[in-house]
Amino acid sequence: MASAAVMAAVKSRLQANWSRCTVAYPNELTVLPAAPFLAVQYPVASEEQITVGAPSNNVFREEGAIRLVLMVKPGTGTTTYAGWMDELRALFRGKQFDGGTTYAPSPDVLDDRNDDGAYWALSCAVPYKFDLFA
């Protein structure tokens, strides 16, 4: 799971720049909203110490991925929502904000895994690094 600082930075960026649909952050909603909605996930993260010998100023680097999952109604096609995913990818492509850096988001995958029962899921993964000081 990503650190609180990373999750806060991503949430802040989405709140300031994304208004197309409701955003579901990890464990914040008790009932899923109607489609379409965007689910934010943090499937992988790791941290390593970059510098040593500077108490309270050592750099610890967290690296991981932000997964953005656009949940839409099945049967509504991909034209509109592929455009939304392109906007999301551009929002995080090669950006620096709140102490972190994001890199090239993966393109959407369209195959049998997109069908999630009540929803049809388009997703991308955004690699990131975030430096923490302690």
pTM score of the predicted model? 0.93
Altogether, the residues listed in the chain come to a count of 134
Please tell me the total count of domains within the chain. Answer: 1
How confident is the model at residue 26, as a pLDDT?
Answer: 96
Distance CA 38, CA 10 (A): 13
Range of the structural domain that residue 104 is part of? 4-133
Which CATH number goes with the domain that contains 43?
3.30.2000.20
Helix (H, G, I), strand (E, B) or coil at 96: strand
Pairing between strand 59-72 and 115-116? Answer: unpaired
Q: What is the pLDDT of residues 24-76, one digit of tens each?
A: 999 999 998 999 999 999 999 999 999 998 888 899 999 999 999 999 999 99
